[in-house]
Chain A
């Protein structure tokens, strides 16, 4: 089991490295041939000398592969740096967080550090800390949406299998098909308008708002949980529908297997047959779906974050793209990829828990 886990971790790191390389090749090639990003920083009237200075400062005048190597060196937790301010590998104390572990010569050596995602072109803020501030918002939103979708989806899936072919099943199927076909940006607007504005007096919900609201008088930031309700319900609707149908279909297939007949021949009732024998066997595909959805919710909650004014990764990335703020965009993509890899790791472990045949 441990070996299996380490294998998976190794694969995960390889995947991340691959993504970083592809990202670097794409973006640095673009930056090398195009001054658009610099104009976004300083305006259209920048002089040629100024542009050259900026290109030099950001290494944009170096060959793409060198830029890529420097970027990967910045990302890697164990990297080669120098204490000398003149070096390309200068370990700037206000940007990097770490220390030298293997000294080579006077100034240089291998450093152990937190991955450095560089600074925003626009604000000069550290991308890492900006993303770290957005990440909890996105995580909380995606997780709560998925937890809601999983619990309700599996529950309705069970109800649907139990009443297979009868009216509750048909009704649930109809509703879930409807839920699947509604795009989230549309639902977001409708929900925000209906529950936050039209029925505000009854629901008490706001049409938009962040999880953390800063009190105007005291300056304290408070957690406002009710602002989570609308965005997470909106985000959760489609996965809920998918999970429900997946649970229903898999459960129905499993219900015709031999060991279910064995369970019935012992004298168990339908409910205990479903809960004790069928459910665990039916859930593997559902877990796969849940993990996939969770990953894409982390990446693609943009519309919902935008409409409900929720501060998260998606919004940050869209802003970065608009301003050609590449460090922010690359950092966001890498963060999302890391989340994907972590989720998959978790799911692999979960498969082992659910199905003893997978364990080694």
Chain B
């Protein structure tokens, strides 16, 4: 059998820099190739160059991409004219993108966009195209296909939009489907459905598929073969099972190891740099795992004391004016729980379950509609604004997006010192500066970075800065709201380790909010599972994972990618 796509020594550059450096691979008909790598590894650029969809600034410098079309003719993609290329796009090769929210044109109806794709390549009437679109919508299992065909994209959920995208991609029976992180922006349960749909369609249409992802778990579920990319190069490739059971390259090893394991508990997560520098031995020793006994002892101590925070019957109801009547949306519904000093309380749930609203209500960044909150014996919900400001000194929050939570025009040093100045913690400048430098060292950044601006730092470094800023006022209580969700797995491991170190050094208490079950399980002493504003289940994460009592929790656990063949 001949490969459908054969890439030889592909080099793609943006300006002077090579983003993809001599990459070679091939794909057989009906095969799924997984491309795994972190942001900036060149995996998306590689796939975009297969369809010649790079921006104007990027270009294929050298190499050959050959493609075998439906008539079994060999075409050299990078030598085709733009017109020839257009005939291939959509008809022979189709693509699904990462962000379903932005990948559909907001001003055109969903049906129109799929019909357009059909009519570009087939000379058929509008009516016929509409019929075909309806059939496709049913094939991708969109509910109420007849309504969705005339719906606007903003009226659909993320998963539904991605289904519309898939319908569009398969509308002309392509031979190759490129899926660029198609499930990254979706909830785990939706991700599972989409993956199953893609697998089914691939079998039915006999398509080849390139599946790009940063999530190793997803790859094991879907790909026959895997390509691991790092800084524009392929560091390792092979059959999925072989590669994950016997990784040979240190980077692959690191990437596999740095994901929080579901089966055992580690003191520290290994990070990729440990493997690349070759001193990963320490981490594999027995000392790094926390035994069941140790954990129980620790918990006995933790839960002996009084709770640091107590929440009783907390609700948040939003009123939305639409039409003639006001809609009421209950984001948080009668939630009660305690947080003990020194513990990490995990809060997990899908998007829209109310976990972020709950986190913000605790600091009264959002005013709760009902319920009472006590912190350290004082009732937060009854405080006037000035006492609230003083208590906020001991309660801080770290948000999800490290890119937008720093003022781009303020130097790092100023950003960290600002809360100290606002709360008047230090009388003189030099003490303030000293503290700022201590904080930088604590979060693992050089003191020399104080004068630099946020854009000079990577995502992980920025999250360190944000954490330092939160710690500046010596809080006792820290809410981490999806603080690692925007980061690559290897960076995520570093930040999780940092959070645990800081907790130990400063005696902090965390509420750790995330949609990622395995991360929450790794971090927390106790865990709350939220669904539709209510707490579905709470308890020790190990216990919950082993014996989930609510069907919702077991559905969530079941949807963790790569769980079926969990890699070691």
Interface residues of A (CB under 8 A from B): 3, 164-165, 256-259, 261-269, 276-277, 280-281, 354-357, 360
Contacts and interface: CB of A to CB of B under 8 A. Distances in A.
Contact of A356 (B51, B106, B113, B323): B106
A266 B112 CA distance: 13
Interface of B: 51, 53, 55-56, 86-91, 94-95, 97, 99, 102-108, 113, 116-117, 120-121, 152, 154, 165, 168, 322-324
Contacts of A256: 55
A267 B106 CA distance: 19
A312 to B, nearest CB: 37
A356 B117 contact: no
Nearest to B106: A357
A259 B116 contact: no
B300 to A, nearest CB: 52
A357 B152 contact: yes
B324 A3 contact: yes
Contacts of B165: 262
A360 B323 contact: yes
A264 B120 contact: no
Contacts of A268: 86, 116, 120
Given A256-B55, A261-B53, A267 B107 contact: no
B89 A258 contact: no
Contacts of B95: 262, 265
A266 B116 contact: yes
B108 A355 contact: no
A165 B154 CA distance: 34
Nearest to A164: B56
A258 B90 contact: no
Contact of A262 (B88, B97, B121): B97
A262 B103 contact: yes
Nearest to A356: B152
A354 B108 CA distance: 10
Nearest to A268: B120
Nearest to B151: A356
B120 A281 contact: no
A265 B51 contact: yes
B53 A265 contact: yes
A259 B104 contact: yes
Given A356-B106, A357-B106, A264 B89 contact: yes
Contacts of A355: 106-107
**A266, A281, A357 — most chain B CB neighbours (10 Å):** A266
A356 B107 contact: yes
A267 B53 contact: no
A277 B112 CA distance: 11
A281 B105 contact: yes
Given A276-B116, A356-B152, A262 B90 contact: no
A267 B88 contact: yes
B179 to A, nearest CB: 12
Nearest to A354: B107
B284 to A, nearest CB: 42
**A263, A354, A357, A360 — most chain B CB neighbours (10 Å):** A263
25 contacts: A164-B56, A258-B97, A259-B103, A259-B105, A259-B106, A261-B103, A262-B103, A262-B105, A262-B113, A265-B53, A266-B90, A266-B116, A266-B117, A267-B86, A267-B117, A268-B116, A269-B86, A276-B116, A280-B107, A281-B106, A281-B107, A355-B106, A356-B106, A357-B106, A360-B322
A276 B105 CA distance: 10
B259 to A, nearest CB: 28
Contact of B90 (A3, A267, A356, A357): A267
A267 B323 contact: no
A3 B113 CA distance: 30
**A164, A259, A281 — most chain B CB neighbours (10 Å):** A259
Nearest to B87: A267
Nearest to A261: B53
Contacts of A258: 97, 99, 102-103
Nearest to A254: B105
Contacts of A267: 86-91, 117, 120-121
Nearest to A355: B107
A267 B95 CA distance: 11
Given A259-B105, A266-B90, 10 more contacts: A258-B102, A262-B103, A266-B120, A267-B120, A268-B86, A269-B86, A276-B116, A277-B108, A356-B152, A357-B152
Contacts of B53: 261, 264-265
B529 to A, nearest CB: 33
Nearest to A360: B322
A268 B106 CA distance: 17
Contacts of A356: 106-107, 152, 154
B90 A265 contact: yes
A282 B106 CA distance: 12
A80 B184 CA distance: 67
**A165, A280, A354 — most chain B CB neighbours (10 Å):** A280
A55 to B, nearest CB: 51
Contacts of A281: 105-107
A128 B113 CA distance: 52
**What 5 A-B pairs come out closest when comparing CB atoms?**
A267-B90, A267-B89, A258-B102, A266-B90, A266-B117
**A258, A265, A277, A357 — most chain B CB neighbours (10 Å):** A265
Nearest to B109: A356
A277 B105 CA distance: 7
B85 to A, nearest CB: 8
Contacts of B103: 258-259, 261-262
Contacts of A269: 86
A277 B95 CA distance: 18
A267 to B, nearest CB: 4
Nearest to A357: B154
Nearest to B178: A265
Given A3-B324, A267-B87, A360-B322, A259 B102 contact: yes
Contacts of A265: 51, 53, 89-90, 94-95
A271 B120 CA distance: 13
